[in-house]
Structure 1
Amino acid sequence: MNAILRAEGVDLLYGTHQAVNGADFTLRRGEVAAVMGSSGSGKSSLLYCLAGVLAPTRGTVSFDRATLSSLTDDELSTLRRERFGFVFQYGELLPELTVEENAALPLRLAGQRKAPAHAAAGEVLGRLGMTELLQRRTSQLSGGQSQRVAVARALVHRPDVVFADEPTGALDSTNAAAVLEEFLKLARDQGTAVVIVTHDATVAEYADSRYTMTDGNLK
Protein backbone atom coordinates (compact mmCIF):
# COMPACT_ATOMS: atom_id res chain seq x y z
CA MET A 1 0.00 0.00 0.00
CA ASN A 2 1.12 3.54 -0.70
CA ALA A 3 2.29 5.82 2.09
CA ILE A 4 -0.22 8.53 2.96
CA LEU A 5 1.78 10.24 5.71
CA ARG A 6 5.54 10.59 5.95
CA ALA A 7 8.00 12.37 8.22
CA GLU A 8 11.63 12.78 7.22
CA GLY A 9 14.33 14.04 9.57
CA VAL A 10 11.87 15.83 11.83
CA ASP A 11 13.32 17.86 14.70
CA LEU A 12 11.25 19.86 17.17
CA LEU A 13 12.87 22.23 19.64
CA TYR A 14 11.24 24.05 22.54
CA GLY A 15 13.88 26.65 23.24
CA THR A 16 17.00 24.58 23.89
CA HIS A 17 15.08 21.36 24.61
CA GLN A 18 14.95 18.94 21.69
CA ALA A 19 11.60 17.13 21.96
CA VAL A 20 11.96 15.29 18.64
CA ASN A 21 15.31 14.36 17.15
CA GLY A 22 15.56 13.46 13.46
CA ALA A 23 12.40 11.34 13.33
CA ASP A 24 11.55 9.32 10.22
CA PHE A 25 8.04 7.88 10.09
CA THR A 26 5.83 6.32 7.42
CA LEU A 27 2.11 5.54 7.58
CA ARG A 28 0.34 3.61 4.84
CA ARG A 29 -3.30 3.88 3.90
CA GLY A 30 -5.46 1.92 6.35
CA GLU A 31 -2.49 1.09 8.60
CA VAL A 32 -2.54 1.31 12.40
CA ALA A 33 0.80 2.49 13.80
CA ALA A 34 1.70 2.80 17.47
CA VAL A 35 4.38 5.07 18.92
CA MET A 36 5.35 3.90 22.39
CA GLY A 37 7.23 5.88 24.98
CA SER A 38 7.20 7.09 28.54
CA SER A 39 5.93 10.50 29.63
CA GLY A 40 8.24 13.21 28.27
CA SER A 41 9.73 10.99 25.56
CA GLY A 42 8.50 13.29 22.79
CA LYS A 43 5.80 11.04 21.37
CA SER A 44 2.96 13.57 21.68
CA SER A 45 5.18 16.29 20.17
CA LEU A 46 5.81 14.01 17.20
CA LEU A 47 2.08 13.29 16.88
CA TYR A 48 1.27 17.00 16.66
CA CYS A 49 3.98 17.51 14.05
CA LEU A 50 2.49 14.68 11.98
CA ALA A 51 -0.97 16.25 12.31
CA GLY A 52 0.20 19.71 11.25
CA VAL A 53 -0.57 21.23 14.65
CA LEU A 54 3.10 21.97 15.34
CA ALA A 55 5.61 22.98 12.67
CA PRO A 56 8.90 21.04 12.85
CA THR A 57 12.05 23.06 13.55
CA ARG A 58 13.74 21.03 10.81
CA GLY A 59 12.69 18.25 8.48
CA THR A 60 9.47 17.70 6.56
CA VAL A 61 6.06 16.13 7.08
CA SER A 62 4.06 15.27 3.97
CA PHE A 63 0.48 14.07 3.66
CA ASP A 64 -0.87 12.64 0.42
CA ARG A 65 2.18 14.09 -1.39
CA ALA A 66 1.69 17.63 -0.05
CA THR A 67 4.34 19.05 2.29
CA LEU A 68 2.53 20.47 5.31
CA SER A 69 4.92 23.41 5.65
CA SER A 70 3.88 24.58 2.15
CA LEU A 71 0.22 24.92 3.16
CA THR A 72 -1.35 28.12 4.42
CA ASP A 73 -2.96 28.27 7.86
CA ASP A 74 -6.40 28.07 6.25
CA GLU A 75 -5.36 25.04 4.19
CA LEU A 76 -3.98 23.33 7.30
CA SER A 77 -7.20 24.03 9.18
CA THR A 78 -9.24 22.54 6.34
CA LEU A 79 -6.97 19.50 6.22
CA ARG A 80 -7.32 18.87 9.95
CA ARG A 81 -11.08 19.39 9.83
CA GLU A 82 -11.87 17.31 6.76
CA ARG A 83 -9.20 14.64 6.34
CA PHE A 84 -7.88 14.12 9.87
CA GLY A 85 -9.58 13.01 13.06
CA PHE A 86 -8.40 13.30 16.66
CA VAL A 87 -8.94 11.30 19.85
CA PHE A 88 -7.53 12.68 23.09
CA GLN A 89 -6.93 11.03 26.45
CA TYR A 90 -9.86 12.76 28.14
CA GLY A 91 -12.17 12.94 25.14
CA GLU A 92 -12.38 16.77 25.10
CA LEU A 93 -16.12 16.68 24.43
CA LEU A 94 -18.25 19.84 24.50
CA PRO A 95 -20.43 19.63 27.63
CA GLU A 96 -23.16 21.89 26.26
CA LEU A 97 -23.83 19.47 23.38
CA THR A 98 -25.54 16.09 23.40
CA VAL A 99 -23.80 12.84 22.50
CA GLU A 100 -25.26 13.04 18.99
CA GLU A 101 -24.27 16.69 18.55
CA ASN A 102 -20.71 16.05 19.72
CA ALA A 103 -20.28 13.16 17.29
CA ALA A 104 -21.77 15.13 14.39
CA LEU A 105 -19.56 18.18 14.98
CA PRO A 106 -16.96 17.56 12.21
CA LEU A 107 -19.71 17.23 9.64
CA ARG A 108 -21.50 20.33 10.85
CA LEU A 109 -18.25 22.33 10.80
CA ALA A 110 -17.74 21.17 7.22
CA GLY A 111 -21.10 22.68 6.30
CA GLN A 112 -23.30 19.58 6.24
CA ARG A 113 -26.94 20.08 7.17
CA LYS A 114 -28.18 18.93 10.56
CA ALA A 115 -30.32 15.97 9.51
CA PRO A 116 -27.72 14.07 7.43
CA ALA A 117 -24.94 14.95 9.89
CA HIS A 118 -26.93 13.58 12.81
CA ALA A 119 -27.91 10.51 10.80
CA ALA A 120 -24.24 9.77 10.08
CA ALA A 121 -23.34 10.36 13.73
CA GLY A 122 -26.12 8.04 14.86
CA GLU A 123 -24.86 5.29 12.58
CA VAL A 124 -21.32 5.47 13.94
CA LEU A 125 -22.50 5.77 17.54
CA GLY A 126 -24.70 2.73 16.99
CA ARG A 127 -21.69 0.69 15.98
CA LEU A 128 -20.09 1.75 19.25
CA GLY A 129 -23.11 0.67 21.31
CA MET A 130 -24.32 4.20 22.05
CA THR A 131 -27.73 4.22 20.32
CA GLU A 132 -29.70 4.60 23.54
CA LEU A 133 -27.64 7.60 24.67
CA LEU A 134 -27.83 9.97 21.70
CA GLN A 135 -29.60 12.74 23.61
CA ARG A 136 -27.55 12.46 26.81
CA ARG A 137 -25.30 15.27 27.94
CA THR A 138 -21.67 14.32 28.34
CA SER A 139 -21.81 14.98 32.09
CA GLN A 140 -24.12 11.95 32.33
CA LEU A 141 -21.67 9.56 30.69
CA SER A 142 -19.12 7.16 32.13
CA GLY A 143 -15.49 7.42 31.08
CA GLY A 144 -15.84 4.56 28.61
CA GLN A 145 -18.99 6.07 27.10
CA SER A 146 -17.35 9.49 26.76
CA GLN A 147 -14.41 7.99 24.93
CA ARG A 148 -16.74 6.14 22.55
CA VAL A 149 -18.29 9.50 21.67
CA ALA A 150 -14.80 10.91 21.07
CA VAL A 151 -14.06 7.96 18.78
CA ALA A 152 -17.31 8.51 16.88
CA ARG A 153 -16.48 12.21 16.44
CA ALA A 154 -13.04 11.30 15.09
CA LEU A 155 -14.40 8.82 12.55
CA VAL A 156 -17.80 10.22 11.53
CA HIS A 157 -16.45 12.12 8.52
CA ARG A 158 -14.42 9.10 7.33
CA PRO A 159 -11.02 10.82 7.59
CA ASP A 160 -7.87 9.49 5.98
CA VAL A 161 -5.97 9.49 9.29
CA VAL A 162 -6.95 9.58 12.97
CA PHE A 163 -4.37 10.77 15.49
CA ALA A 164 -4.96 9.26 18.94
CA ASP A 165 -3.05 10.64 21.93
CA GLU A 166 -3.23 8.10 24.80
CA PRO A 167 -6.84 7.28 23.78
CA THR A 168 -7.36 4.79 26.62
CA GLY A 169 -5.05 6.38 29.20
CA ALA A 170 -7.93 7.58 31.41
CA LEU A 171 -9.83 4.26 31.36
CA ASP A 172 -9.63 1.11 33.48
CA SER A 173 -8.23 -1.97 31.75
CA THR A 174 -11.61 -3.50 30.88
CA ASN A 175 -13.01 -0.32 29.33
CA ALA A 176 -9.68 0.40 27.66
CA ALA A 177 -9.64 -2.92 25.83
CA ALA A 178 -13.28 -2.65 24.76
CA VAL A 179 -13.00 0.93 23.48
CA LEU A 180 -9.73 0.26 21.66
CA GLU A 181 -11.08 -2.84 19.93
CA GLU A 182 -14.24 -1.01 18.81
CA PHE A 183 -12.23 2.02 17.68
CA LEU A 184 -9.75 0.07 15.57
CA LYS A 185 -12.36 -2.26 14.08
CA LEU A 186 -14.41 0.71 12.92
CA ALA A 187 -11.32 2.50 11.58
CA ARG A 188 -10.19 -0.58 9.67
CA ASP A 189 -13.67 -1.19 8.29
CA GLN A 190 -13.73 2.28 6.72
CA GLY A 191 -10.07 2.25 5.64
CA THR A 192 -8.91 4.98 8.01
CA ALA A 193 -5.26 4.91 9.06
CA VAL A 194 -4.52 5.49 12.75
CA VAL A 195 -1.51 6.81 14.64
CA ILE A 196 -1.66 5.97 18.36
CA VAL A 197 0.80 7.31 20.90
CA THR A 198 0.80 5.37 24.14
CA HIS A 199 2.89 4.35 27.13
CA ASP A 200 1.04 1.01 27.29
CA ALA A 201 2.55 -2.02 25.55
CA THR A 202 -0.87 -3.72 25.58
CA VAL A 203 -2.30 -0.92 23.44
CA ALA A 204 0.64 -1.11 21.02
CA GLU A 205 -0.05 -4.81 20.44
CA TYR A 206 -3.17 -3.86 18.46
CA ALA A 207 -1.10 -1.99 15.86
CA ASP A 208 0.21 -3.20 12.52
CA SER A 209 3.53 -1.39 13.05
CA ARG A 210 5.24 -0.20 16.22
CA TYR A 211 7.75 2.52 16.97
CA THR A 212 9.49 3.35 20.24
CA MET A 213 10.41 6.86 21.31
CA THR A 214 13.09 7.62 23.90
CA ASP A 215 14.39 11.12 24.65
CA GLY A 216 13.08 12.39 21.31
CA ASN A 217 14.59 9.55 19.28
CA LEU A 218 12.22 7.38 17.24
CA LYS A 219 13.12 3.80 16.41
Structure 2
Amino acid sequence: MAVRNADISVRRGEVIAITGQSGSGKSSLLYCLAGVLPVARGEVRFDGRVLGALDDEELSALRRERFGFVFQYGELLPELTVEENTALPLRLAGQRKGEALATAGAVLSRLGLGELRQRRPSQVSGGQSQRVAVARALVHQPAVVFADEPTGSLDSANATAVLEEFLTLARSQGTAVVLVTHDADVAGRADTHYRMRDGMLAPFTRDAS
Protein backbone atom coordinates (compact mmCIF):
# COMPACT_ATOMS: atom_id res chain seq x y z
CA MET A 1 0.00 0.00 0.00
CA ALA A 2 1.41 3.40 -0.99
CA VAL A 3 1.63 6.11 1.65
CA ARG A 4 0.01 9.40 0.63
CA ASN A 5 0.39 12.88 2.09
CA ALA A 6 1.67 11.69 5.48
CA ASP A 7 2.86 14.47 7.77
CA ILE A 8 4.40 13.35 11.06
CA SER A 9 6.93 14.75 13.52
CA VAL A 10 8.67 12.75 16.26
CA ARG A 11 10.16 14.43 19.32
CA ARG A 12 12.94 13.04 21.49
CA GLY A 13 11.53 10.65 24.10
CA GLU A 14 8.08 10.57 22.48
CA VAL A 15 6.23 7.31 21.87
CA ILE A 16 4.08 7.33 18.73
CA ALA A 17 1.71 4.50 17.83
CA ILE A 18 0.41 3.91 14.30
CA THR A 19 -2.56 1.60 13.93
CA GLY A 20 -4.68 0.49 11.01
CA GLN A 21 -5.95 -2.57 9.20
CA SER A 22 -3.59 -4.95 7.42
CA GLY A 23 -2.54 -3.41 4.11
CA SER A 24 -3.36 0.14 5.20
CA GLY A 25 0.24 1.32 4.70
CA LYS A 26 1.41 1.58 8.31
CA SER A 27 4.48 -0.67 7.89
CA SER A 28 5.37 1.11 4.65
CA LEU A 29 5.28 4.42 6.50
CA LEU A 30 7.51 3.00 9.25
CA TYR A 31 10.12 1.86 6.74
CA CYS A 32 10.03 5.19 4.93
CA LEU A 33 10.66 7.02 8.21
CA ALA A 34 13.55 4.66 8.95
CA GLY A 35 15.14 5.23 5.56
CA VAL A 36 14.65 1.62 4.51
CA LEU A 37 12.18 2.53 1.74
CA PRO A 38 12.68 5.64 -0.40
CA VAL A 39 9.91 8.21 -0.76
CA ALA A 40 8.78 9.18 -4.27
CA ARG A 41 7.41 12.56 -3.16
CA GLY A 42 8.17 14.72 -0.14
CA GLU A 43 11.05 14.07 2.23
CA VAL A 44 12.03 12.52 5.54
CA ARG A 45 14.31 14.58 7.78
CA PHE A 46 16.34 13.51 10.79
CA ASP A 47 18.28 16.12 12.77
CA GLY A 48 17.98 18.47 9.80
CA ARG A 49 19.34 15.96 7.29
CA VAL A 50 17.18 14.79 4.38
CA LEU A 51 17.41 11.00 4.26
CA GLY A 52 16.89 10.94 0.50
CA ALA A 53 19.97 13.13 0.01
CA LEU A 54 22.30 10.70 1.82
CA ASP A 55 24.36 8.15 -0.07
CA ASP A 56 24.16 4.44 0.80
CA GLU A 57 27.12 4.59 3.19
CA GLU A 58 25.78 7.61 5.06
CA LEU A 59 22.29 6.12 5.30
CA SER A 60 23.62 2.78 6.54
CA ALA A 61 25.70 4.56 9.20
CA LEU A 62 22.67 6.58 10.31
CA ARG A 63 20.50 3.48 10.68
CA ARG A 64 23.29 1.61 12.45
CA GLU A 65 24.28 4.33 14.90
CA ARG A 66 21.18 6.47 15.54
CA PHE A 67 18.27 4.12 14.91
CA GLY A 68 17.12 0.90 16.56
CA PHE A 69 14.71 -1.70 15.23
CA VAL A 70 12.37 -4.23 16.85
CA PHE A 71 10.40 -6.67 14.70
CA GLN A 72 7.51 -9.02 15.42
CA TYR A 73 9.62 -12.16 15.74
CA GLY A 74 12.80 -10.72 17.24
CA GLU A 75 15.05 -11.76 14.33
CA LEU A 76 17.93 -12.84 16.58
CA LEU A 77 20.98 -14.46 15.00
CA PRO A 78 20.86 -18.15 15.99
CA GLU A 79 24.64 -18.65 16.01
CA LEU A 80 25.21 -15.89 18.59
CA THR A 81 24.51 -15.97 22.31
CA VAL A 82 21.88 -13.70 23.85
CA GLU A 83 24.65 -11.39 25.04
CA GLU A 84 26.36 -11.33 21.65
CA ASN A 85 23.06 -10.60 19.89
CA THR A 86 22.45 -7.70 22.24
CA ALA A 87 25.96 -6.32 21.76
CA LEU A 88 25.75 -6.45 17.96
CA PRO A 89 24.92 -2.75 17.35
CA LEU A 90 27.89 -1.75 19.52
CA ARG A 91 30.24 -4.13 17.73
CA LEU A 92 29.07 -2.86 14.33
CA ALA A 93 29.83 0.66 15.53
CA GLY A 94 33.42 -0.40 16.27
CA GLN A 95 33.28 -0.84 20.03
CA ARG A 96 35.69 -3.36 21.53
CA LYS A 97 34.21 -6.76 22.27
CA GLY A 98 34.72 -6.71 26.04
CA GLU A 99 33.22 -3.26 26.45
CA ALA A 100 30.30 -4.08 24.14
CA LEU A 101 29.50 -7.30 26.00
CA ALA A 102 29.67 -5.53 29.36
CA THR A 103 27.21 -2.88 28.17
CA ALA A 104 24.95 -5.55 26.68
CA GLY A 105 25.03 -7.50 29.94
CA ALA A 106 23.97 -4.42 31.90
CA VAL A 107 20.99 -3.78 29.60
CA LEU A 108 19.98 -7.44 29.75
CA SER A 109 20.08 -7.30 33.53
CA ARG A 110 17.79 -4.25 33.51
CA LEU A 111 15.31 -6.33 31.53
CA GLY A 112 15.60 -9.30 33.92
CA LEU A 113 17.60 -11.40 31.44
CA GLY A 114 21.03 -11.42 33.05
CA GLU A 115 21.00 -15.15 33.69
CA LEU A 116 20.33 -15.88 30.00
CA ARG A 117 23.40 -14.12 28.62
CA GLN A 118 25.22 -17.25 27.47
CA ARG A 119 22.20 -19.03 26.01
CA ARG A 120 21.43 -19.27 22.29
CA PRO A 121 18.13 -17.95 20.91
CA SER A 122 16.87 -21.53 20.54
CA GLN A 123 17.25 -21.96 24.31
CA VAL A 124 14.96 -19.11 25.39
CA SER A 125 11.19 -18.62 25.24
CA GLY A 126 9.35 -16.38 22.79
CA GLY A 127 8.82 -13.69 25.41
CA GLN A 128 12.47 -13.82 26.44
CA SER A 129 13.59 -13.67 22.81
CA GLN A 130 11.54 -10.52 22.26
CA ARG A 131 13.03 -8.95 25.38
CA VAL A 132 16.47 -9.65 23.93
CA ALA A 133 15.38 -7.94 20.70
CA VAL A 134 14.32 -4.91 22.76
CA ALA A 135 17.69 -4.90 24.55
CA ARG A 136 19.52 -5.06 21.21
CA ALA A 137 17.48 -2.16 19.82
CA LEU A 138 18.23 0.05 22.82
CA VAL A 139 21.77 -0.99 23.81
CA HIS A 140 23.46 1.81 21.82
CA GLN A 141 20.99 4.42 23.11
CA PRO A 142 19.61 5.34 19.68
CA ALA A 143 17.70 8.52 18.99
CA VAL A 144 14.74 6.59 17.56
CA VAL A 145 13.53 3.00 17.70
CA PHE A 146 11.23 1.78 14.94
CA ALA A 147 9.08 -1.14 16.11
CA ASP A 148 6.91 -3.19 13.74
CA GLU A 149 4.33 -5.21 15.70
CA PRO A 150 6.88 -5.87 18.47
CA THR A 151 4.42 -7.82 20.63
CA GLY A 152 2.33 -9.35 17.84
CA SER A 153 3.76 -12.86 18.25
CA LEU A 154 3.31 -12.98 22.04
CA ASP A 155 0.46 -13.96 24.34
CA SER A 156 -1.21 -11.13 26.26
CA ALA A 157 0.79 -11.57 29.48
CA ASN A 158 4.15 -11.59 27.71
CA ALA A 159 3.08 -8.78 25.39
CA THR A 160 2.21 -6.55 28.35
CA ALA A 161 5.50 -7.31 30.13
CA VAL A 162 7.66 -6.77 27.04
CA LEU A 163 5.90 -3.52 26.14
CA GLU A 164 6.23 -2.19 29.67
CA GLU A 165 9.96 -2.91 29.76
CA PHE A 166 10.46 -1.55 26.25
CA LEU A 167 8.77 1.77 26.87
CA THR A 168 10.22 2.24 30.35
CA LEU A 169 13.78 1.73 29.11
CA ALA A 170 13.25 3.85 25.99
CA ARG A 171 11.80 6.76 27.95
CA SER A 172 14.56 6.58 30.57
CA GLN A 173 17.10 7.02 27.75
CA GLY A 174 15.18 9.77 25.97
CA THR A 175 14.75 7.50 22.95
CA ALA A 176 11.78 8.19 20.69
CA VAL A 177 9.69 5.18 19.64
CA VAL A 178 7.61 4.85 16.47
CA LEU A 179 5.43 1.80 16.99
CA VAL A 180 3.26 0.04 14.42
CA THR A 181 0.61 -2.16 16.00
CA HIS A 182 -2.87 -3.55 15.48
CA ASP A 183 -3.42 -3.77 19.26
CA ALA A 184 -5.48 -0.93 20.73
CA ASP A 185 -4.14 -1.64 24.24
CA VAL A 186 -0.57 -1.27 22.99
CA ALA A 187 -1.44 1.94 21.15
CA GLY A 188 -3.06 3.24 24.32
CA ARG A 189 0.37 3.38 25.99
CA ALA A 190 1.67 5.86 23.44
CA ASP A 191 1.93 9.61 23.83
CA THR A 192 0.50 10.16 20.34
CA HIS A 193 -1.72 7.82 18.32
CA TYR A 194 -2.22 7.94 14.56
CA ARG A 195 -4.38 5.76 12.35
CA MET A 196 -3.59 4.68 8.79
CA ARG A 197 -6.40 4.07 6.30
CA ASP A 198 -5.83 3.50 2.58
CA GLY A 199 -2.36 4.99 2.81
CA MET A 200 -3.56 8.14 4.58
CA LEU A 201 -2.39 9.12 8.08
CA ALA A 202 -4.60 10.96 10.57
CA PRO A 203 -4.72 11.49 14.34
CA PHE A 204 -6.68 8.72 15.98
CA THR A 205 -10.18 9.46 17.16
CA ARG A 206 -12.64 7.04 18.72
CA ASP A 207 -15.20 7.48 15.96
CA ALA A 208 -12.50 6.64 13.35
CA SER A 209 -12.05 3.09 14.62
- TM-score normalised per structure 2: 0.96
Structure 1 residue aligned with 2:33, among 21, 46, 50? 50
Name the counterpart of 2:85. Answer: 102
Name the counterpart of 1:13. Answer: none
Deviations 1:91-140 (A, max 9, x none): 00000000000000000011100111001000110011001000000001
TM-superposed CA distance for 1:38, in Å, is 1.3
Name the counterpart of 1:151. Answer: 134
TM-superposed CA distance for 1:182, in Å, is 0.3
Residue type of the alignment partner of 1:159? P
Q: Secondary structure at the match of 1:76?
A: helix
Give the fraction of aligned pairs with identical amino acids, expressed as a percent: 74
Name the counterpart of 1:59. Answer: 42
Q: Which has the higher strand share?
A: 1
Name the counterpart of 2:67. Answer: 84
Structure 2 residue aligned with 1:176, among 132, 135, 159? 159
Name the counterpart of 1:126. Answer: 109
Matches of 1:117 and 1:206 in 2, distance apart? 31
Name the counterpart of 1:11. Answer: none
1:40 correspondence with 2:7: no
TM-superposed CA distance for 1:19, in Å, is 1.7
Name the counterpart of 1:218. Answer: 201
Residue type of the alignment partner of 2:74? G
Name the counterpart of 2:146. Answer: 163
TM-superposed CA distance for 1:50, in Å, is 0.1
TM-superposed CA distance for 1:189, in Å, is 0.4
Which blocks of at least 5 consecutive residues in structure 2 are unaligned? 203-209
Deviations 1:161-201 (A, max 9, x none): 00000000000000000000000000000110000000110
- TM-score normalised per structure 1: 0.91
Structure 2 residue aligned with 1:70, among 48, 53, 57? 53
1:207 correspondence with 2:203: no
Structure 1 runs of 4+ with >2 Å offset: none
Matches of 1:29 and 1:89 in 2, distance apart? 24
Residue type of the alignment partner of 2:58? E
CA RMSD of aligned residues (A): 0.6
**Greater RCO structure (CA 8 Å; 6+ sep):** 2
TM-superposed CA distance for 1:24, in Å, is 0.6
Matches of 1:32 and 1:115 in 2, distance apart? 32
Residue type of the alignment partner of 1:184? L
Matches of 2:110 and 2:48 in 1, distance apart? 32
Q: Secondary structure at the match of 2:170?
A: helix
